[in-house]
């Protein structure tokens, strides 16, 4: 499989499963309505794990521009491939969000809360405070990249690493996700936010573009920081 196609498909699967659980929890009339934050965090962790299982052999399963850019900054990935990987990831995330919209089609009209509908597609802060919100995304993504790089140098039973990374996502979500919803991935937020803006989602409100730069810039900066710290220590 072409590695760019791998990143597209892997990120599509990540978003379909990850944003699918958010839709199930926040939209009205679903079987999983109000299932809670733990359900969301566990499902996102599993979504990451299965995205890695799906395409790791073909592309390395970055599934996240912050990881791609961090690896390039650390000298572990070719800069010439960064733009293509990031484009594939954002495109996959956009397509995954479109599928979530189609999957839950009657529930958008049944839900009156426009903010809840946006939450299916993209993140938003619990308390809007620019510096704190950027720091939340920066620190959480630095931990993500730092931990993934250390996971990579440890020996595990064959096939176990994706599950370990999935558990890392669950841990970050439970411990560090309460402030901004732990985007920790520019594609995860930007692609679906574009989908929200374009799609005829019943009763949707603003796509909140004023906030949209934070889950892009924060994770990119945090990813680079995590990779640099790893290189200094290891």
Cβ atoms 65, 35 nearer than 8 A: no
Terminal-residue alpha carbon distance, the chain: 32
Residue 184: CATH number of its domain = 1.20.1080.10
CA quadruple 168, 174, 180, 181: dihedral sign = positive
Within the chain, which residues score under 70 in pLDDT?
Answer: none
Compute CA distances 226 → 86, 90, 167, 216, whole Å.
Answer: 19, 22, 18, 16
Q: Given this model, what pLDDT does residue 152 score?
A: 87
Measured CA to CA, the distance from residue 186 to residue 229 in angstroms comes to 21
Supply the range of the domain harboring residue 185.
Answer: 3-233
Q: Given this model, what pLDDT does residue 153 score?
A: 87
- Summarize pLDDT for 184-208 with one digit per residue, the tens: 999 999 999 999 999 999 999 999 9
Q: Given this model, what pLDDT does residue 205 score?
A: 97
Q: Given this model, what pLDDT does residue 89 score?
A: 98
Looking at the structure of the chain, the number of domains it has is 1
């Amino acid at each position: 499989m072409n590695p760019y196609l791998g990143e597209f498909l892997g990120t599509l699967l990540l978003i379909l499963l990850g944003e699918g659980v958010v839709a199930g929890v926040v939209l009205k009339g679903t079987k999983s309505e109000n299932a809670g934050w733990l359900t969301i965090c566990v499902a996102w962790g599993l979504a990451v794990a299965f995205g890695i299982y799906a395409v790791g052999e073909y592309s390395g399963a970055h599934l996240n521009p912050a990881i791609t850019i961090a690896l390039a900054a650390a000298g572990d990935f070719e800069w010439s491939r960064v733009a293509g990987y990031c484009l594939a990831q954002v495109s996959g995330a956009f397509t995954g969000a479109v599928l979530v919209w189609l999957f839950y089609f009657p529930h958008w009209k049944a839900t009156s809360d426009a903010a809840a509908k946006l939450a299916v597609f993209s993140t938003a802060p619990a308390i809007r405070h620019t510096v704190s919100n950027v720091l939340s995304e920066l620190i959480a993504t630095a931990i993500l990249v730092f931990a993934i790089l250390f996971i990579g140098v440890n020996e595990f039973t064959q096939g176990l690493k994706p599950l370990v990374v999935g558990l890392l996502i669950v841990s970050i979500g439970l411990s560090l996700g309460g402030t901004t919803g732990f985007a920790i991935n520019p594609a995860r937020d930007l692609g679906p936010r574009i989908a929200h803006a374009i799609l005829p989602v019943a009763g949707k409100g603003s796509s909140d573009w004023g906030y949209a730069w934070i889950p892009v810039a924060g994770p990119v900066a945090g990813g680079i920081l995590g990779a640099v710290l790893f290189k200094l220590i290891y």
